[in-house]
Chain A
Amino acid sequence: MKLKDKDIVSVEDLSKGDISKILETTKKIDEGDLKADMSGKVLANVFFEPSTRTRLSFETAMKRLGGDVISLNSTQASSISKGESLADTVRVLEGYSDVIVLRHPKEGAPKMASQFVEKPVINAGDGSNEHPTQTLTDLYTIWSEKGSIDGLKIAILGDLKYGRTVHSLVQPLVEYDIQLYLVSPSQLSIRRSILEDLGKKSGEVIQKASIEEIIDKLDVLYVTRIQEERFADKEEYEKVSGSYEINKELLDQADDDLIVMHPLPRIDEISPEVDGLKQSKYFDQSKNGVKIRMALLELILGDNDGKRT
């Protein structure tokens, strides 16, 4: 399917072919082959929740391609504090920009926004629902580090209940021929409905309570932060806080080729001593976020319809 003018609100909207196209384009950009020219185009960064990496990486991506960026970062400093609906806000911003990048605490907000505007909408995170551009970054990191996704043993560790990066990532991962270990404290296990959907795909899904018993089998360890801000009850958060930590001692039992990923920010899930190990790839992963967003902008807004000669 062509990605030109396409909304990216859910990974479900992307076929395996779309994902391959995005990863291949990212690889070309990674190799220094810049084709798209965004001069004269404007990206609207619309963030109703705090963000560092996602907002700045979209901004960097657009600027590196020669485009401009306008930002709405605080609900206090705009008409939203006067009670303007999101539907109205995005319709106004559509008049100022060529693409709208939206982060919103309400789940499904980007989907709704996409129904009110003609210009493409990119979901930059909606509550604990999805974060598709992080997923593409994650897939690219795995693919570029390992050369392929098929055949890998991948564990996702941490907050599988509230972590939106997890909800987005597991769906395309199980389209590949992989073994996927979902490792979490029982209070933070993945929602049953998501698990049921995963069971119908090619990848094998195995739930585990501790990382120690599988660490020596893994090719990829994807660690996530416990989403404190999504807990309704502080006491519930305290019960699970600090319940897992990736450190040198644990990684001594792992394969040398294991890669450790994290969507960041981290709190205490990965000990700083891991940063210097060759297995740690989370800062490379973060850097890949700019390239993947450049590729997406090229494919969605570019004039050559993703064709590179």
Chain B
Amino acid sequence: MEKELRVRPIKNGTVIDHLTAGLALKVVKILGIDETIKEVVSIVMNVSSESMGKKDIVKVENRELNSDEVDKISLIAPKATINIIRDHEIVEKHRVSLPDTVEEFIECPNSKCITNTNEPIKSKFKVINEKEVKLKCEYCQRTIKGEITGYIKKP
């Protein structure tokens, strides 16, 4: 049985499960995980799932992601579940929920927006949850919809 596992269970950390196949790399990007991270990160793509057919999973060892961090994921993966693991046990399990606003990590696509200047402010978007999720810039009022990962700020 153990041999069939592609990635071993983690002892401590966070497992982001039920990601629609193909979203893992985008989720990693939204979480700001890049080559500077010290923790072990496992990315599993296209594994079989009874409920979803195929799914992706992201595991971050020895780091418990807080809800502000994980709720950002809901912008692209509303069905994702978050498992917090301590000593091999799932101690918390919850779905991501859409935040009311998102700050800083999205860049306004409007080059004339005041947030794309050297002024001492962070970008801020209101999250509008209609048929599809839209983000509206609180400053210039420009709306982003569809593929939002392209607007994630470069570190």
Contacts and interface: CB of A to CB of B under 8 A. Distances in A.
Given A87-B121, A106-B117, A111 B112 contact: no
Contacts of B46: none
Contacts of A185: none
Nearest to A197: B143
B115 A85 contact: no
Given A106-B112, A106-B113, A128-B112, A111 B139 contact: yes
A107 interface: yes
A112 B139 CA distance: 7
A111 B143 CA distance: 17
Interface string B63-103: 00000000000000000000000000000000000000000
Interface in A63-121: 85-87, 104-109, 111-112, 115
B141 A112 contact: no
Given A127-B140, A129-B141, A107 B110 contact: yes
Contacts of B141: 10, 107-108, 129-130
Nearest to A111: B139
Contact of B112 (A85, A87, A107): A107
Interface residues of A, number: 19
A193 interface: yes
B53 interface: no
Nearest to B137: A108
Contacts of B155: none
Interface residues of B, number: 20
A230 B125 CA distance: 24
Nearest to B140: A107
Contacts of B118: 85
Contact of B139 (A87, A105, A107): A107
A108 B139 contact: yes
Contacts of A86: 114, 119
A175 B64 CA distance: 47
B142 interface: yes
Contact of B119 (A87, A105, A107, A129): A87
B39 interface: no
Nearest to A113: B114
Nearest to B139: A108
Contact of A112 (B110, B114, B143): B114
Nearest to B134: A193
B121 A109 contact: no
A230 to B, nearest CB: 9
15 contacts: A86-B114, A87-B119, A106-B112, A107-B114, A107-B141, A107-B142, A108-B115, A108-B137, A108-B140, A111-B139, A112-B114, A112-B139, A128-B112, A129-B141, A193-B143
Given A85-B120, A126-B140, 16 more contacts: A85-B118, A86-B114, A87-B120, A106-B112, A106-B117, A107-B139, A107-B142, A108-B113, A108-B114, A108-B137, A108-B138, A108-B139, A108-B140, A108-B141, A111-B139, A127-B112
In the A-B complex, the 6 residue pairs with the closest CB atoms: A108-B139, A107-B140, A193-B143, A108-B114, A108-B140, A106-B114
